[in-house]
Amino acid sequence: MATSKWELDPVHSSVAFSVRHLVVSKTKGHFNKWTVDLDLDPSNLAATKVTARIDASSIDTKEPQRDAHLRSADFLDADKFPFLEFKSKRVEVLKADELRITGDLTIRGTTREVVLDTEYGGTVKDPWGNTKVGFAAKLKIDRKEFGLVWNQALETGGLLVGDTVEITIEHEAKLLQPEIPVATSAQANA
């Protein structure tokens, strides 16, 4: 079987993150808008190719002032760099349900190679006859390596925002059925 195209199911997918706040806790958030281009053959996972584009302005931590600050030049600079992007370079199959996806992550115009530790959930037919596939991936990045250096010292020691950002991705997609060519009347009568 050759690789096939799959369409993101945004209702059953998410891109979330967490980062230390005030040293003692973590602030969590997610992005509301993104696209994924997935080429996948379930019988040859190593041939998988994935490209994801995340709308930087769709960041959401449920705190409007913080979200505005995260969109600003202090952090994502969403006006100048509207997308975060991931492009896979290789996929290693570690176990039937465990993958290591290596690729380039671009944030604020800076590209770094990262590794997504990925759980492959397999494929299934849903009650409406669609073939679905699922993945869950995790990675940690140092935000400073992507130019996200803003911070503020705390009176009690430490910094307002931690450097390590933990990213979790839940991805469900539907197999796009190949188009069936429709014969023209000339071909049908031949």
- Note the pLDDT tens digit of each residue in 129-161: 889 999 999 999 988 899 877 666 656 665 566
- 4-188 CATH fold: Lipocalin (2.40.128)
Of the chain, the end-to-end C-alpha distance in Å amounts to: 32
Q: Is the pLDDT of residue 15 over 90?
A: yes
Q: Could you tell me if 17 and 54 are in contact, meaning their C-beta atoms sit under 8 angstroms apart? A: no
Share of the chain above pLDDT 90, in %: 55
Beta bridge partners of 106: 85, 111
Q: In the chain, where are the structural domains located?
A: 4-188
Nearest to 137 by CA among 25, 44, 48: 48
Please state, in angstroms and rounded to a whole number, the distance separating the CA atoms of residues 155 and 76. 26
Instruction: Report the predicted TM-score, pTM, of the whole model to 2 decimal places.
Output: 0.84
Number of H helices, E strands in the chain: 2, 11
Lowest mean pLDDT among 8-22, 89-103, 114-128: 8-22
